[in-house]
Structure 1
Amino acid sequence: MTMMTRVEDNIPAAHTGVIAKEETAFELIGSEQDIDTSVFGRPGATVTGFKPGHFRVPQIKAYYHFPADLLEDFCAFWEVNDGGEGFLLFGDAGVGKTSFAEQFAARINAPFYEVVGDRDRVLDDWICTIHMTNDGAKPVLGPLALAVKFGGILCINEGDKLRPAARHGLHSILEGMPLVIPQLGNKGVIRPHPYFRLVMTGNSGGYGDQSGMYQDSNRFDLATLDRFVKRRLDYLPANIEEQVILQAYEEFPEELAPMVVKLANKVREQFRNGTWACTFSQRAVLRFVRWIIIHADKKDATGTHCGLARALDLALTEGLDEDVRKAIHEHAKDVFGNWWTLGAANV
């Protein structure tokens, strides 16, 4: 079955304003093709993907690591979704939930649409909005409608913060029912593309916050829970995270990578214990590394190297409660030892 589609062929002439200009400018979604799973760093099989070129395909981050079990489950979810299900990916802040879905899409050349859930969100915001133009009011499809119509992954970040009414609106779409857009009258019926997939991320598994750290997470009702595959994602094992650092920044001193990860895991531990009000996300780890490289020769007014301290502030601790900031810096001094004052350039 070909996925080759001309965008404008699917839009009634009276409603050519329904899709933003950048959507119509890219005429071909692309056709199906088998993608070797070596693109995930795990050769030996294939997964359905698309020809490259769609502007909504994310940029590949070559250093990204795909957890094997989660990748296996997600590939199965992508390939066969007869059950009309979404995929709920949950875990602590900063474990890389959105990055997993984004990088999966990047490897198979699938369009990726990202939205953020919040208590004030209504589903119509993601379906169709009215834009004023020189020719008058025109309806414009939102990310949900575009993903349903043309295929790809719609990722709802912080989905456990949505109100029940917004989540309930997704039920019929997940089950394969047409998406009806009243603004388009009798032309506003969109049937889900065979490769439309809905991913939701959150800090809880849909059963509410049981840790006390994410009190703004809502509990899902049973009807919503029954429509999602649920998988937990955790921080990377230390040795894998060290490899990610060195792949992302080849010039970074190898001796420092274990120290960075050790510090990050200490902060994460204290966050989970409720001691410190911050965590060290994988994104922040790479930001810390980048600023260590930038400030490798940084010295303070006394001539003492302060590059690591400056990098830590820029990556994480600036703006924190001062007692927490000092505690993290004191722990960093213990972890990095002499390098804290000698500077990364002297490793």
Structure 2
Amino acid sequence: MMAGIPATGTTIGAVTGGLRLGPDGSFRPNLRWELSERGAVVDATGCWITPGFVDAHSHLAWSDFDAAYRPTGAAERAAGAAANQLATLRAGVTVVRDAGGYDLALARRLAGRAGPRVSLSVDIIGAADARGERYLRDRVAELADAGAAWIKLAATGGVGAGTRQLEPAFSPGELAAVMGAAATAGLPVMAHAWGGPALDQVVDLGAASIEHAVFLTAAQAARVAACGAFVVPTVWIYADVLRLASTGVLPRTLAPAARRAVAAHPRALRHCLDAGVRLAAGTDAGLASQHGRNLHEVAAMIDAGIPAPLALAAATTAGLALVGEAASRGDLVVFSGDPGRPDVLRDRAAVRAVVQGGRVVHSRSDAGSGTEAG
């Protein structure tokens, strides 16, 4: 057990004791934190310390997958997003790449509120936007003007597409128009692609990351690796959707596609490992119940066959490399157990403290209560 937990709001001025990444992907010294406020020292012996986690695919502004049930009023949207991002921060996630729904107006409204640093895509370019090349170029320019740091392109269907997840949502010319306009705007593309020819096309056109990649083949994995793109597999979301659809919380019509994804994903991940594809972790969280369970994705990656050190790296250092955040931000997470174990990752009480930018933003006492700054 930790001898003491730093007070929420405390600034970490320096770390002593040889903070280094261990072979299991986590920081595990007999760590002493030197706290700049009073020069006090906190003994973290027996705890595990990792870098802050990165969720490279989340929907912080969403509390429901069905757009018809999402709030439209600014105050209500902000309240929901604030709760979601606070839950995400408490889970140990200090950086998020939002995959649609979190716009610049919302970011400004929530400035100063506790939450991860957010990289915006603003909105999704999907099948409804397949209105020709000129329209799509204008759509990219519109998103760039709206403050997008990423272009989110849904190149195939998803879990709600029945059995049509491998059908391209755009013509080859339309895909090229989106990718070309994004390159002109200096914006990287995160491409939703379950598989099929659209996945090949977005890789060849320079997508920075492939989202989901459920039916990725060995040949496609080699192609992704050769191009240096990342795969963000979002493994956990399909098991959670299957659970919720099977119990009627979500439409039961989603269950067959989710079941196929759960069965197929381990094979796709094995192809990624064999080809040396760079992996980053993302939850695709879009329900209120999913925000704050972000580390379930890391656990699911391990359960699906990704070695624990690689899964932890996908959710920390590799995620930073993809999102483009500086690694020296002073983000740390303190665990009471080994974060290389899926059961620890699924236990929110195992997160003892979260440090963001050198400041303790969440801490949990031995009694189990948690406090947050901001």
Normalised to the residue count of structure 1, the TM-score between the two structures is 0.29
Q: Which of the pair has the greater relative contact order for Cα pairs under 8 Å at 6+ separation?
A: 2
User: Which of the pair has more CA radius of gyration?
Assistant: 1
* Larger helix fraction of residues: 1
Normalised to the residue count of structure 2, the TM-score between the two structures is 0.27
